[in-house]
Amino acid sequence: MGRLDGKVCIITGGTTGIGLGTVEVFAKEGATVIVAARREAEGQALAARLGPKVSFARIDVTEEADWTRLIADTVKAHGRIDCLFNNAGVPGPQGGIEGIDMAHYERCFAGLCRSVVLGMKHVAPVMKRQRAGSIINNGSVAASRAGLSSSMIYSMAKAAVVHITTCVAMELGEHNVRVNSISPGGIVTGIFGKAFGIDPKAADRTAETVEKALATVQPIPRAGRPEDIAHAAVFLASDESSFINGHDLVVDGGAVGGRMWTMQQEGLKAMGAALRAAAG
């Protein structure tokens, strides 16, 4: 038996990166999965590859009409919605506060925050009627630490996502609907290339470069992978987490824990040597 047997799950941004990895793991765990994304060719191919319990629904997560249709179609087809993973995301504008392009700022907040609000708004009535459900929002370690994203606007938007997760958890928890977030650290996906202006399809081919760059930035000596987030999402979608609500689950190999041990020890040695030299 799979950990998600019998559960109907919507995963946004499910054709690439973390979303793709999560679709694959959810399907393996027995879920009925609706891949909600913009890339129709990739989505249809993914559904065909994973079998009849996986389907594709084209959606722009920033458009409310698309959410209305997606939720209604899912309930009509399956009778319920057990999990919504608000995973879809976009990179944010780089640069300092003085040079922020406000049009890009608005697109970033729409893709990262408005989309999450819309998803929760439209799935909440369904889950409240069921008296059951799990909403998972994709946050980021950049939500709580400066300097962990190439964009301060991305960090700001993710901080909003993590906080609104807590706020909505307090409301919907009274109806036995759980709302939690996952905050990934450095995960090997195309979003890094996209942040530098690389075409999305080409950015997806930069994984090897990204993996090497991320392998040494946290105590666990490897880069994070989409399946690391997917397995965390399985836990939050399953009944195993039925008493977890309003929580931000950080999956980052220990990156936000503080200064890395070896770096600290080398710094202490250098400081000690300098102090001894100064003392004569």
pLDDT in 10s for each residue of the chain, 280 residues:
899 999 999 999 999 999 999 999 999 999 999 999 999 999 999 999 999 999 999 999 999 999 999 999 999 999 999 999 999 999 888 999 999 999 999 999 999 999 999 999 999 999 999 999 999 999 999 999 888 888 999 999 999 999 999 999 999 999 999 999 999 998 887 666 666 666 666 666 666 777 787 888 889 988 889 999 999 999 999 999 999 999 999 999 998 998 888 989 999 999 999 989 999 7
Residue 2 in any domain: the answer is: no
Alpha-carbon distance of 90 to 38, in angstroms, equals: 13
Residue 103 in any domain: the answer is: yes
Residue 207 in any domain: the answer is: yes
> Hey, what are 103's tokens?
């049009």
Q: Tell me the pTM.
A: 0.90
Residues 212-238 as b/e (b if ≥16 CB within 10 A, e otherwise) read: eebbebbeeeebbbbebbbbbbbbbbb
Residue 38 in any domain: the answer is: yes
Which CATH number covers residue 102? 3.40.50.720
Residue 34 in any domain: the answer is: yes
Q: Which residues are tagged catalytic?
A: 154
Q: Angle, to 10 degrees, between the axis of helix 17-28 and the axis of helix 40-50? A: 20
Q: Angle, to 10 degrees, between the axis of helix 64-78 and the axis of helix 115-130? A: 30
Could you tell me if 60 and 37 are in contact, meaning their C-beta atoms sit under 8 angstroms apart? no
Element (H, E) at 118: helix 115-130
Could you tell me if 109 and 157 are in contact, meaning their C-beta atoms sit under 8 angstroms apart? yes
**Per-residue model confidence (pLDDT) at position 150:** 84
What domain range is 248 assigned to? 8-279
Q: How many CB atoms lie within 10 A of CB 162?
A: 18
Residue from 3, 52, 68, 65 nearest 29 by CA: 3
Q: How many CB atoms lie within 10 A of CB 167?
A: 11
**Per-residue model confidence (pLDDT) at position 218:** 86
Residue 3 in any domain: the answer is: no
| Residue 198 DSSP symbol | -
Domain count for the chain: 1
